[in-house]
Structure 1
Amino acid sequence: MRRFIVLLLVAAVNVKAFAANADEPKFNPKNLVITWEVVDNNYQNKGEALTAITITNKGKTSLPASGWKFYFNSSRNFVANAVSGNARIEPINGDLYSITPNAEFKAIKPGKSGRIDYICESPVVNFTDAIEGPYLVWDSEPNKGYAIGDFVVKPFNPTYLGLITPEIIYNQNKIIQDIPAASLQKIIPTPASYKENSGSFTITNSIAIESDPLFEGEKRYFITGIEKLLGSKLKPSASGKKVIFKKDASLGAEAYQLSITPDAITITAATPAGLFYGIQSFKTTLSAEPWAKPQSSITVPCLEVADEPRFPYRAVMLDVARNFQTKEQVLKLINLMAVYKLNVLHFHLTNDEGWRIELPSLPELTAVGSKRGHTLDSKNYLPASHGSGPDFSNTAGTGYYTKADYIEILKYANERHVMVLPEIESPGHARASIKAMDNRYTRLMAAGDKAGAERYLLRDVNDKSEYRSVQYWNDNVIDVAMPSTYNYFETVINDLVNIYKEASAPLPAIHFGGDEVPPHVWEKSPSYLALKDKNPEIKNTGDLWYYFYGKLNAMLKKRNITMSGWEEMALRKTTVDGQNTYVPNPQFVNEGMQVDVWNNVLGDGQEDLAYKLANGGYKVVLTCVTNLYFDMANYKSFDEPGYYWGAFLGIDKFYSFIPFDYFKNADVDKNGQPINRNIFTGKQRLTDYGKQNIIGLQGALWTETVKTADRMDYMVFPKLIGLAERAWAKDPAWTMEKDTTKARAMYNAEWSKFMNILGKRELPRLNYYQGGYSFRIPKPGVVLQDGKYLSNIQYPGLTIRYTTDGTEPTASSKVYDGPVDATGTVKFRAFDTKGRGGNVAEGSENNKPGI
């Protein structure tokens, strides 16, 4: 009888399973391949792009004509009805869109394809303009998304204005002279005083180290590094050569002196930070060989260096909210920041699309805010963004740092004299935190705990305000009129303070964002209207700005922490001749706040904003989009990744930046076209007082287009070295030369030196530091002359290889060492010392270099 009952139960389970399977769609979305392409990049001469997605069925059953939607992400706007007449595109929220087939769409049989043509409201420039992460949702299962088999972006050869061709690259590279490696400066960023002498010092494991007790941590750091390069433990010999770490209290806080003679290496400093930077300079005198493979002895040249930084604040802003980067990748970034003497990691931990740090008091922030998948209500996790797809398996969309991870990052950074500045975006760009606290509210309300539910709520549940942010979100701004908002921030600040204390790491400032709050926010919030009735100083929603940041500043001041934020934090809206404008806000000018100013887009009217704020008394970190954004595309070409709304930005823009007069050598606008210098008429120049308020430079990596560690490396390196050069080294002579012809000649000579240093000294080492960095390898320049192709490269020292049969060059292809006959299809590609290749430059039979 017992066996019979078991059989009945098994049969019942099987019947239930069969019924469930019968309700499921029979078609497997994994059998779909979607290809995106540009059809016409100036459709109907309207400056719009006709694009298409082709859906190919690789399975054995048909994709039905209806009963499904595709969802995808895009930073662009679309015309709703498909030109092909068979589908409709609709915005959902943020960068999420849906495509719904209509009665004209036909089922796609096995082995066949269907196509949807649609209009993008602006031309396509590069491959990051493609849609991202398409996935399928069945109408019968609206809460579940299904990944497709593959998504392909079809190559496109555009002919738009400003296209950078290999011929243009060749002509740009012509000014770069090939300089013998032996005559190149051995330390970068450029020291204040540098002199090479004859002779050398040989490092072996018998060297002895003498150190002032102040530098005990740096001594351990030095020994660990040297032993790795030698491949053996140090065994100091009484008769051996010495490394000496000396204290000199008269030197500046980050200054050092480095002396290398045949008998000793001596580094002198007043502080551990200064001594550490002396060690970094010593490290850059080494060749790539010991980094590639341990050497029993290492020879370094004799030299004398006296050095200190130009700016005290030398930063990299890393956004891990839009797309996540692992702890290991963050440590690799910190390591290279330290090598090049950058001292602040501005850690952008939160945004609309993600919350990335575990705070013990508010576990919902990561339980909800660190996950992205298919959802239309964001009750338990966030929706797909930036191509993260329908589930949590995408590690760029889903992930966070545990408390232990973050403490490890802090300790690693602290050892390398890098301060980690946490950014908690507010009040805008805060959707992840808002939805996380909504989840908490719903859970506690269901448990009958109304007071607990409302304690950290970040939006008025009865707010009917309608707005749309720059990134198209309609629900991403914290309601700063609610008392619960300040309960939340007190808790966040306390948890951050405790984490930093546990890590024994400094927390001199916290960054609270402040940028891009859209119009019409809070207008219909009952909390705002109630606060306005009680507080006569609040006359409109604009006044909430000062109310909010005043309260946050008070929270920080009682903890001896400085308020930091984006430029909007320091601005007050007013009007001039009836037109809206912004001026430095006098309310906060004496509060010691620090502002990062990004907006100097050439031609948009705010070119002098950083100088206005510095002249007005604010401490300013230049984070100028025209010169210091890592995520901007290098130049205008389909195969170069990145955004380009603010500028096209190669390493030359970092290197050529003049902090105190960035108008001086601005040459092209945000579209890459020659600039009209009339845009600077009437703009504020930096006063001598204002110069004292420029405390540093910051390179910024926003990660909407950065999905992997390799892409992060590509966008950041070696641009980071250009940032370090401008942040540490004094202004070169060409920045002060008034004769433009002389200034250009001086610049070209220094640019050649810098490119040779990168190509022959720095990049070979970057191949091996911390396992190697996937830095950007530039496309070769190619020009046709007298029936032959000539090629050159931006970084002398890289190897150009080519093929003549139309195939892609590999690390074993012929080495370019002179002109190549222009017969057939010739392709050129540069390679580093590890055999990694960059983008391909092509010459074609019609004798016109292509892209």
Structure 2
Amino acid sequence: MNSSFVLRTAQTLGGWRLLCVAVLLPLAAAAQPTLPALIPQPQSIQLTKGQFTITPQTQLALQTPVAEVRQLVQTNLPGLRINDLARPANNITVRLAAVAGLGSEGYELVVTPTGIRLTAPAAAGIFYGLQTLRQLLPPDRERPGFRFAGNVPAGSTTLPACTIRDQPRFGWRGMMLDVSRSFFTKDYVKRFIDLMARYKYNVFHWHLTDDQGWRIEIKSLPNLTQAGAWRAPRTGPWNSRENPIPGEPQTYGGFYTQDEIREVVRYAAERQVMVVPEIDMPGHMLAAISAYPSLTCSGKKVPIYPNGKFYKLEDNTLNPCSDSTYLFVDKVFTEVAALFPAPYIHIGGDEAYKGFWASCEACKPLMAANGLKTVEELQSYFVRRVEKIVNSKGKRLIGWDEILEGGLAPGATVMSWRGMNGGIAAAKQGRPVIMTPYQNCYLDLYQGDPSAEPSTYSLCRLSNSYAFEPVPDSVRSELILGGQANLWTESIPTTRHAEYMVWPRAFAIAEALWSPKSSRNWTDFIQRMERHFVRFDAAGVNYSRSYLNPFVTVQRQGPGGLLDVIITHELPDTDLYYTTDNTLPDAQSPRYMQPFVFPKGADRLRVVAYRNGQPVGRMLDIPLTDLAARAR
């Protein structure tokens, strides 16, 4: 049997790969090439004999005059000499040309013992091919400041011989960063874009405004940033933070100048990333209202709260019945539209508390005049008027799935976050949809057992993210533009913690949005992901290993009854050991085999996981009070 083999991932990268390995190992184990650890998994990869080593003599032959492509290559393969007349032998050749069966984001990458050839029909394909090429290089390539130069040891940049043909499953592969609750500098935003682009995300959804801060300079409304970008400094769990004290210095916050916005947009475009701004309305507007109180029904001056305690107590919603509100929106979107070349503006539309509208005397005659029977229909009226403003700037409107309530605006795209149902409803109306259900895509949620994690809320484990399927069976697939991972930052005060929460769940979502559905293989993904941790170590990027921790759920046997303890793990090849006698568990402790009753008199549960005979992850230490709370 020939020692080379073909993995056609578009149809077969699931169980067929394991079958191939099972057959080949007994016959030619030593000859089988190592499968590259690529994320997201490419559409198809053919592994062949041999390898190619980049040496100080290797040159770049860029067979295109397009400046954008030339810059992409130099940025991703720094230090290599460019010689457009170089022969293909022992060099790297990059060219723009049609590739049969591949679209504008597709590419073909061929590595042989005598050279590398990257071909794509457009600059985007060249960029994604370069990201795959980077992943074929040793992890040290990700070290900050790395350059291919004469002092690079021979053999340190060796790639396996292979042919890869690849293109994405979806056109919208997004990541959202909330900079309102926690403010991050321009430089960190660029780092965030760098990392997402490396894994073939192509939309950066920038959540620029919310209750806790207005982060974008609007020159015609200077108080938005002079007052609305700053709040009282606080730390600790979100809803345990103290309210602001009258007269307290407002020292936490910041904003991006319009020049900084332009810089970030250019930076993203160089990495094939479209930046979509979000200006959240009609709710989540407390920062704007603190600067311009007349925007609400009450006109009341309010502070910026560093928590969520004010919800339903203070009016954080724009007045939908005042023409001055729409003049404000027009001013904002005039400047926003000029800063962002993307065809979309996201207006939020989520979690708008409408209780103040219901009691607003100005809203009652407007509702009557327009035949609006409910406050949900009043929100629809608001969104429809705002959509006309957005359209007048040459843009299309996106909103969270709450914009369905009361009737969907005629040209709106729906971003479905409260599960899949909002997206399904919009698609059944023939509207385009971006799927981002919190159960799979919210990266600020617990990713492991809460006893071993920083405080947050709800749950989205790595396996939940890997199970994300953007296209429900009941809708036309062409209406699903793609999906998105979202990082809200109420509980994320630092950039290191932001990275901890994003990775590795963003690996999993990247694969759901790029790779063929048939290529899903959880065990294989884990193996590839862990090899990317080595790359992140070299790059200095933080990440979580919470998937290695046990996970405990509890059920109570009736009111006041005993507690049944269920212990699970995300990896199938893991042994779990526990104690309830206040001792530390190890591989000689009771092994978890099935749910058990927590013993009377015991005051805590401790659990450890073992993989391949070695302890992995963190030991869980859960007191009885916590177990009882979980049962509730």
TM-score after normalising by structure 1: 0.57
Aligned residue among 443, 448, 459 for 2:296: 459
Q: Give the drift of 1:393.
A: 9.0
SS of 1:369 mapped into structure 2: coil
On the 8 A contact 1:372/1:388 being kept in 2, the answer is no
CA distances 1:148-179 after superposition (whole Å, capped 9, x unpaired): xxxxxxxxxxxxxxxxxxxxxxxxxxxxx9x9
Aligned residue among 254, 263, 267 for 2:114: 263
Q: Give the drift of 1:782.
A: 11
Cα distance, 1:794–1:214 mapped onto 2, change above 3 Å: farther
Task: Give unmatched runs, 5+ long, in structure 1.
Answer: 1-176, 376-383, 439-456, 501-505, 573-584, 601-606, 662-684, 734-746, 784-791, 797-805, 809-815, 832-836, 845-851
Answering whether residue 321 of structure 2 is matched by residue 550 of structure 1, we say: no
Q: Distance in 2 between matches of 1:470 and 1:571?
A: 24
Answering whether residue 88 of structure 2 is matched by residue 245 of structure 1, we say: no
Cα distance, 1:782–1:357 mapped onto 2, change above 3 Å: closer
Aligned residue among 197, 204, 207 for 2:48: 197
Answering whether residue 444 of structure 2 is matched by residue 609 of structure 1, we say: no
Answering whether residue 318 of structure 2 is matched by residue 478 of structure 1, we say: yes
Aligned residue among 336, 344, 351 for 1:496: 336
On the 8 A contact 1:209/1:242 being kept in 2, the answer is yes
Q: Distance in 1 between matches of 2:76 and 2:446?
A: 35
On the 8 A contact 1:511/1:565 being kept in 2, the answer is yes
Q: Give the drift of 1:795.
A: 8.4
Answering whether residue 430 of structure 2 is matched by residue 621 of structure 1, we say: no
Match of 1:224 in 2: 75
Answering whether residue 451 of structure 2 is matched by residue 638 of structure 1, we say: yes
CA distances 1:793-829 after superposition (whole Å, capped 9, x unpaired): 9789xxxxxxxxx999xxxxxxx9xx5789xx99979
Answering whether residue 238 of structure 2 is matched by residue 404 of structure 1, we say: no
Cα distance, 1:222–1:773 mapped onto 2, change above 3 Å: farther
Answering whether residue 359 of structure 2 is matched by residue 524 of structure 1, we say: yes
Q: Distance in 1 between matches of 2:318 and 2:620?
A: 48
Match of 1:762 in 2: 532
Q: Distance in 2 between matches of 1:544 and 1:461?
A: 17
Q: Give the drift of 1:342.
A: 0.6
Cα distance, 1:639–1:189 mapped onto 2, change above 3 Å: same
Matches within 5 A, 1:179-578: 183-213=34-64, 215-227=66-78, 232=79, 234=81, 238=86, 241-249=90-98, 251-292=102-143, 294=146, 295-296=152-153, 297-373=156-232, 387=241, 397-438=252-293, 457-461=294-298, 471-500=311-340, 506-532=341-367, 535-572=369-406
Q: Distance in 2 between matches of 1:630 and 1:219?
A: 35
SS of 1:767 mapped into structure 2: helix
CA distances 1:430-460 after superposition (whole Å, capped 9, x unpaired): 111111113xxxxxxxxxxxxxxxxxx4124
Q: Give the drift of 1:310.
A: 0.7
Cα distance, 1:462–1:223 mapped onto 2, change above 3 Å: closer
Q: Distance in 2 between matches of 1:354 and 1:838?
A: 37
SS of 2:321 mapped into structure 1: coil
Q: Distance in 1 between matches of 2:242 and 2:93?
A: 52
Answering whether residue 524 of structure 2 is matched by residue 753 of structure 1, we say: yes
Match of 2:469 in 1: 658
Q: Which deviates the most, 723-732 or 773-782?
A: 773-782
Q: Distance in 2 between matches of 1:820 and 1:274?
A: 53
On the 8 A contact 2:448/2:546 being kept in 1, the answer is no
Structure with bigger gyration radius: 1
On the 8 A contact 1:388/1:394 being kept in 2, the answer is no
Give the residue type in structure 2 aligned to 1:772.
V
Aligned residue among 474, 477, 502 for 1:686: 474
Q: Distance in 2 between matches of 1:472 and 1:531?
A: 23
SS of 2:356 mapped into structure 1: coil
Q: Distance in 2 between matches of 1:640 and 1:619?
A: 36
Give the residue type in structure 1 aligned to 2:329.
F
Q: Give the drift of 1:556.
A: 2.0
Q: Give the drift of 1:621.
A: 0.7
Match of 2:516 in 1: 730
Identity across matched positions, percent:
30
Give the residue type in structure 1 aligned to 2:413.
Q
Match of 2:460 in 1: 649
Give the residue type in structure 2 aligned to 1:595.
V
Match of 1:90 in 2: none
Cα distance, 1:257–1:511 mapped onto 2, change above 3 Å: same
On the 8 A contact 1:755/1:794 being kept in 2, the answer is no
Q: Distance in 2 between matches of 1:560 and 1:214?
A: 32
On the 8 A contact 2:211/2:286 being kept in 1, the answer is yes
Give the residue type in structure 2 aligned to 1:205.
P
Q: Which deviates the most, 291-300 or 698-707?
A: 291-300
On the 8 A contact 2:357/2:363 being kept in 1, the answer is yes
Cα distance, 1:460–1:660 mapped onto 2, change above 3 Å: closer
Q: Give the drift of 1:766.
A: 1.3
Cα distance, 1:385–1:354 mapped onto 2, change above 3 Å: farther
Q: Give the drift of 1:461.
A: 4.2
Cα distance, 1:830–1:399 mapped onto 2, change above 3 Å: farther
On the 8 A contact 1:756/1:795 being kept in 2, the answer is no
Match of 2:542 in 1: 773
Give the residue type in structure 2 aligned to 1:617.
G
State the aligned residue count: 536
Match of 2:496 in 1: 710
On the 8 A contact 2:482/2:513 being kept in 1, the answer is yes
Q: Give the drift of 1:305.
A: 1.0
Q: Distance in 2 between matches of 1:527 and 1:776?
A: 54
Q: Give the drift of 1:235.
A: 6.8
CA distances 1:277-334 after superposition (whole Å, capped 9, x unpaired): 1111111112212334853451111111111111110111211112222222222221
Normalized per residue, the structure richer in helix is 2
Task: Give unmatched runs, 5+ long, in structure 2.
Answer: 1-20, 147-151, 302-307, 553-567, 573-581, 591-604, 624-632
On the 8 A contact 2:216/2:225 being kept in 1, the answer is yes
On the 8 A contact 2:43/2:166 being kept in 1, the answer is yes
Cα distance, 1:321–1:462 mapped onto 2, change above 3 Å: closer
Q: Distance in 2 between matches of 1:709 and 1:474?
A: 30
Q: Distance in 1 between matches of 2:299 and 2:132?
A: 59
Cα distance, 1:562–1:716 mapped onto 2, change above 3 Å: same
Q: Distance in 1 between matches of 2:224 and 2:551?
A: 51
Cα distance, 1:782–1:320 mapped onto 2, change above 3 Å: closer
Q: Give the drift of 1:211.
A: 2.5
On the 8 A contact 2:337/2:395 being kept in 1, the answer is no
What is the RMSD of the two structures over their aligned residues, measured on CA atoms? Answer: 4.0
On the 8 A contact 2:447/2:546 being kept in 1, the answer is no
Q: Distance in 2 between matches of 1:724 and 1:842?
A: 33
Q: Give the drift of 1:507.
A: 2.0
Cα distance, 1:523–1:780 mapped onto 2, change above 3 Å: closer
CA distances 1:24-74 after superposition (whole Å, capped 9, x unpaired): xxxxxxxxxxxxxxxxxxxxxxxxxxxxxxxxxxxxxxxxxxxxxxxxxxx
Match of 2:18 in 1: none
CA distances 1:744-789 after superposition (whole Å, capped 9, x unpaired): xxx7xx2111111111x211111233x4234445555599xxxxxx
Q: Distance in 1 between matches of 2:65 and 2:413?
A: 31
CA distances 1:621-641 after superposition (whole Å, capped 9, x unpaired): 111112111111124432223
Cα distance, 1:386–1:370 mapped onto 2, change above 3 Å: farther
On the 8 A contact 1:462/1:526 being kept in 2, the answer is no
Q: Structure 1 residue runs of 4+, over 6 Å off?
A: 179-182, 388-395, 792-796, 825-831
On the 8 A contact 2:111/2:117 being kept in 1, the answer is yes
Q: Give the drift of 1:519.
A: 3.9
Match of 1:3 in 2: none
